[in-house]
Structure 1
C-alpha cells in the first residue's frame, strides 16, 4: 500500500456554505438530502432534474421553501444552469448521473468542482464526528453492511446503515442525536466522485464486470471501486479469493500505519480472518496473531440466521463485516451476537417455502452473473429460474462452472438469448423451459406476475425432492418488473399460490 496523508481524517476545515453558489443534479433521495442540507446552511442552490412527476414537484416545493430553486423536465438537465445569474462554484451530483452527462461535462470543462453526496456528507461533518466503516463490491455490499451495523449495535454503539443502503449519508452525519460510528455502503457511482473521504476501515468485497455502460470499461469500474481504500486509517479489508481486491489495496494511498487484512473461506494466515473447523476466526486483530486466533462465530450461527440456507458468499460477507468491526475495536462476542441477529435480507437467498422436499429460494437481487454464481454455489441441485435484461453480460463461465448442479433451467425475461445460447454451448444436456413474454411495457407489472406464475409451474414440474428452485436471474429486472424487489415479490406470491397449504415452512 502506498503512503497517504498522515494528518487528520480528510476533513477540510473552514468549509464555507453561506452564499455559496451550488448546482445539485438530481432530485432523488440523495440529491434532495444534499440540496436541503445546503439550502439550510445558506447556500444558493439550484437543483436540476430530468423527471417532472409528483414526487419531483413535491421535493422542488420543499427546496423553494428553503430559498432554493428547482428546474424540472428533460430540458432542465441539458446544460449547467447559472445560479442567480452567475456561474456555480460547486456541483453536487446524484449517483445516477453519468460522468458524461452534459451538465457535468460542462462543469468539469469550466473547472467547477464536482462532488457526490458522499463527498458532501464528509465535508459537512462536525468536530468529533463519527468515523466511517465503508464497504463496496460488485455483490454483497448490502448484506455486509447489514451484518456490520448489527455487530456494532451488539457492541452497544449507536450506529446506522447509511449511503447506498438506508439513510442518505448527508442525513446520517447531520443527525442531531449523533452516532458513535457509521456502517456505510458505497456504490461505484458514489465512489467515482469522492475526494477527501477518509474511513476508519474499508472493504472491497469483489470486483466483477457490471455497470460498464456507466464507467466505460472494467478498468475504470475497478478503479472507482478501489477508491474505497483511499485515505483509510486502520485497515483495508480485501478478499484473498479475489486477487483484484488485493491489488487495489496495494495501489491505494492510505494513512501511514494502515494495515492490509485479508479474508478467506479457508484457514487464515497471519493478518487474516478465515474459517477453521466451521468456526470464524480472527488472526488479524489479536495480540498473539502469529500463534493464536480469536473465535468469532460458527457457521451454524450464520446458517440459523439465514433461515437454514448458507451460501459461501454469505460466509465471506460475514468475515468482511467482522474484520471491519474488529478494526474499530469491537469485541469477539459482539461479532457473534450481531451475526446471529442478522436475518436474510429481502430478495437475497430468502427461503420462500419448503414443500415436498423442495426448497424455494428468492435471490432476485442476483442481477448479474457474479451474484448468480455465488447463489448457485450454495445449492447442491437446482432448478434455476433466470433471465431478464442482460446489460451486455456474458454467461458462458457462469453456466460452465455450475452446469453439474442444474436439474433444469426456466428462462424468463425479454433478453434471454445470451443465456439461452450459453446454456446450449456449456450445458447442452440440461432441460430448458422458456416462459413466453406476455404484454408490453405498459402492462409490465401484470405481465411480470403472469410470467412468474408460469415459471413457478414449470419449475415445480421439473423439481425433485432434495432440489432447490432458485430465482437467481443473473440479469436486471426492468424488462418485466419495476425493480428486483417487485420481481422477487412476484416469485414469492406465485410460489405460495402454487403450493397453497402444502408448505412445510418458509421464511
Structure 2
C-alpha cells in the first residue's frame, strides 16, 4: 500500500512512524513550510518516509491518514474522496491496528472539560491499580499508546478526531456537553453535534450529561433500562448536578452519589466522594468529576478509588487558577476558556466580576453568554481580534456595565488590560480572565495568554497600585 499522511504535527508524525515500523510505504504531505516542519520532515525521511511540501495527492495512494486539523474541504482530501480513496484519522488508524488483547478505551468528548475529565478519569483508574494513560487530544497520540502494555486507556477525542473516525468502539463513552464551537470548521451547530455523537455509535456503555440538552439528545437513541442492556443495545447512564435518579450519578447535599453502577439502582446508592474532593471547586468541575466517575464505574472501579483519584488529580494550569489577591481583589486565570460555553461556566463560579475577554470567537455567538452573566459583571476589559463583537453583546445585554477596549498586539497589552481591570474592580470583586475566544490572534496558545496575565498581575502586586 501507498499511504499518504497529511500534516507533520504530533498525530501526523506519530501515524507516519507507526506505519513505517509496520513496513508500509508512506508519503507525508505538508502544506506549511517552516523550521519545525523541516525538522520533522528530516526525522521521518531518515526513517524511510517520502516527505513532500505542497498539497497534491500522491499518485497511487490507497489510503489517506489525515491530521485532525485538516478540514474536509481541503483540496487533497476532496480529491481523495473523488478517487474513492478512504480518508481516516490517526485515532481510527490506532483502533484498526491495535494488537490483539489491547487495552480497552474509555472515551469522552465535549465542547469543554475534556482534558480535566480525562485526567480525573486516569487518576481514578490508577488509584484502582490499573496501568492507565490519558491519550488522544490530551497530547499523547493514541497510535503510540496502543502498542504499550496498558490495562486501559482514557481517551480524549475532539470533534475533528471524531469526524475522521468510523469504527472506534470504546467500552464506555461520554459526551460532557455540546455548545457553539468550531462552527467555522463544521459549518453548523447540527453538524458539530452530530460528529460529537459519533463517539456513542459503537460504545458498550453510553454516558450522557442529563443537564445538557445536546448530550441527552445524542444519547437518546441508545437509551436502555438503567439496570442493564435491552435488546442487545448498550447500557446508558446519566450524570447530573442534581439529585440522581435511577441510572444516574449525581449530587446529594455535599456527596457525589452513584445510582447507576450499583446492584440495585432502584433502591440503593453508593457514596463516591464529597464536593470538597473536587479541585478546583466550581459547578462545571463537579460535572467533570461526575462524568469521569461514571466512566470509571463502567470499568468496575470501586468507590474508594474514585475518591482517591479526585484527591490525586492535579489541575492543569490556566483552568480557573487563582493568581493573586491584590487590594482585596482576586485575580483568576481561566485562559483555557476558549469558547463562550467555557467562559459561561467560569463566569457562573463568581458573584462579582470584572471580566477580561476577547480573542478569536471562531464563528460562535456571545449574546447568550453576556445575557446570562450580566448580573454578575461589574466591568469588562476587552482585547483581541473579535473584541468588537463582545462589546456589541455587552451594549445589548449589559448596557450599564463599564467597558474598556485595549487595542494593540504588543507585549505590553496584558499589562494595560490588568491595569484597567484593577481600576474597574472594587474590594470583593474577581478579575477573571475567561476570554471566550481562542488566543492565536495575539499569543502562541492559551497557555501563553494565561502566563502573560499572571505576570501582569504579579507586576501590579509589586507596583503598589491598588
TM-score normalized by the length of structure 1 = 0.88
C-alpha distance after superposition, 1:281-321 (max 9, x if no partner): 0000011211121111111111xx32xxx221101000000
Gaps in structure 1 of 5+ consecutive residues: 1-19, 439-446
Matched, 1:30 2:11: yes
Matched, 1:250 2:225: no
Corresponding residue for residue 209 of structure 2: 239
Question: Aligned with 1:31: secondary structure?
Answer: helix
Work out which of the residue numbers 459, 470, 478 in structure 1 matches 2:432: 470
Say if 2:66 and 2:90, in contact at 8 Å, map to a contact too. yes
Matched, 1:61 2:63: no
Say what the alpha-carbon RMSD is for the aligned residues: 1.6
- Distance in 1 (CA, whole Å) between partners of 2:369 and 2:432 is 15
How far 1:29 sits from its partner (Å)?
A: 0.5
Matched, 1:200 2:181: no
Question: Aligned with 2:356: secondary structure?
Answer: strand
How far 1:501 sits from its partner (Å)?
A: 8.7
> 1:252–1:117: structure 2 CA closer, same or farther, 3 Å change rule?
farther
Say if 1:414 and 1:437, in contact at 8 Å, map to a contact too. no
Question: Aligned with 1:286: secondary structure?
Answer: coil
Corresponding residue for residue 327 of structure 1: 298
Question: Aligned with 2:150: secondary structure?
Answer: coil
Question: Aligned with 1:267: secondary structure?
Answer: coil
Say if 1:388 and 1:473, in contact at 8 Å, map to a contact too. yes
Task: Give 1:86-485 correspondences, 5 Å limit.
Answer: 87-175=60-148, 178-233=149-204, 235-251=205-221, 256-302=232-278, 305-306=279-280, 310-438=281-409, 447=410, 449-485=411-447
How far 1:30 sits from its partner (Å)?
A: 0.2
C-alpha distance after superposition, 1:74-119 (max 9, x if no partner): xx11x2112xxxx211110000100111111111111111110000
Moved over 6 A (4+): none
Deviation larger for 101-110 or 251-260: 251-260
Equivalent residues, number? 459
Matched, 1:498 2:460: yes
- Distance in 1 (CA, whole Å) between partners of 2:370 and 2:137 is 30
- Distance in 1 (CA, whole Å) between partners of 2:34 and 2:297 is 45
How far 1:253 sits from its partner (Å)?
A: 10
Say if 1:367 and 1:472, in contact at 8 Å, map to a contact too. yes
How far 1:344 sits from its partner (Å)?
A: 2.3
Say if 1:281 and 1:293, in contact at 8 Å, map to a contact too. yes
Question: Aligned with 1:190: secondary structure?
Answer: helix
> 1:50–1:427: structure 2 CA closer, same or farther, 3 Å change rule?
same
Gaps in structure 2 of 5+ consecutive residues: none
Question: Aligned with 1:466: secondary structure?
Answer: coil
Corresponding residue for residue 13 of structure 1: none
How far 1:203 sits from its partner (Å)?
A: 0.5
Say if 1:231 and 1:253, in contact at 8 Å, map to a contact too. no
TM-score normalized by the length of structure 2 = 0.96
Say if 1:26 and 1:47, in contact at 8 Å, map to a contact too. yes
C-alpha distance after superposition, 1:449-484 (max 9, x if no partner): 311111111111222222111000111112211211
Deviation larger for 51-60 or 470-479: 51-60
C-alpha distance after superposition, 1:178-221 (max 9, x if no partner): 10000100000000011111101000111111111111111111
Deviation larger for 313-322 or 60-69: 60-69
Matched, 1:47 2:17: no
- Distance in 2 (CA, whole Å) between partners of 1:300 and 1:466 is 23
